[in-house]
Amino acid sequence: MIESLGVKQVKAELATKVNNLPDVFKVKKPTLKHLEILTSQGYVIAYLNNWIIDTVGFFNIGKGMDDLQVMDTSLLIWQSFPFIGVHEIYFVFNQAKKGRYGILFDRLDGSIILQWFNKFWEDRLNAAESICYQEHISTKEHNGESYSMNQAAKEHAIKVKQFAQQHKI
């Protein structure tokens, strides 16, 4: 399993599985922390380095990143997001390539990449909250506890009609 976690292999495997934010909750892949436990911190940093190098190459910009910047950025991602899954790393970099996190103007550095991860994490939390709320509503409806605005409007219309009939309005 660990040997198959190179950038090219992950791209090929996840290209059809992780296309939008709700998909990241459906795919079960190891987190950076799990990879560290199974292998080593060095392996995780090298894995992140490969993603950053791949992304820098994709953008073809004037001010890229040198090896030290790539290493520093990888360490910061590992420290800041130890529980992000490898499929989510794919998603962040893929979304960045699609322009989801803004347009790059001849510069890519660690702070920009960390902004991508911070934005992703914020979006992920919002999506998780939304999914939990929808599940809550679905559970309530399943248990017969639902009282929607549509039902309230119907009940109100019935009461108005009854009142009008009682009072011959």
> What mean pLDDT comes out for the span 61-87?
93
- Is this structure's pTM higher than 0.85? no
What band does 84 get if pLDDT is binned at 50, 70 and 90? Answer: very high
Residues 149 and 155: their CA atoms lie apart, in Å, by 10
Spans of all domains in the chain: 2-166
Q: What is the rounded CA–CA span in Å between residue 147 and residue 31?
A: 40
Helix (H) / strand (E) containing 97:
helix 86-97
Q: Which residues of 136-162 are buried (b: 16+ CB within 10 A; e: fewer)?
A: eeeeeeeeeeeeeeeeeeeeeeeeeee
Residues of the chain with pLDDT > 90, as a percent, come to: 48
Q: Which comes out higher in pLDDT, residue 11 or 145?
A: 11
pLDDT tens readout for residues 93-119: 999 999 999 888 888 999 999 999 999
CA–chain centroid gap for 93, Å, is: 11
For residue range 113-152, list pLDDT tens digits in order: 999 999 999 999 999 888 888 877 776 655 555 555 556 5
Give residue 79's pLDDT: 96
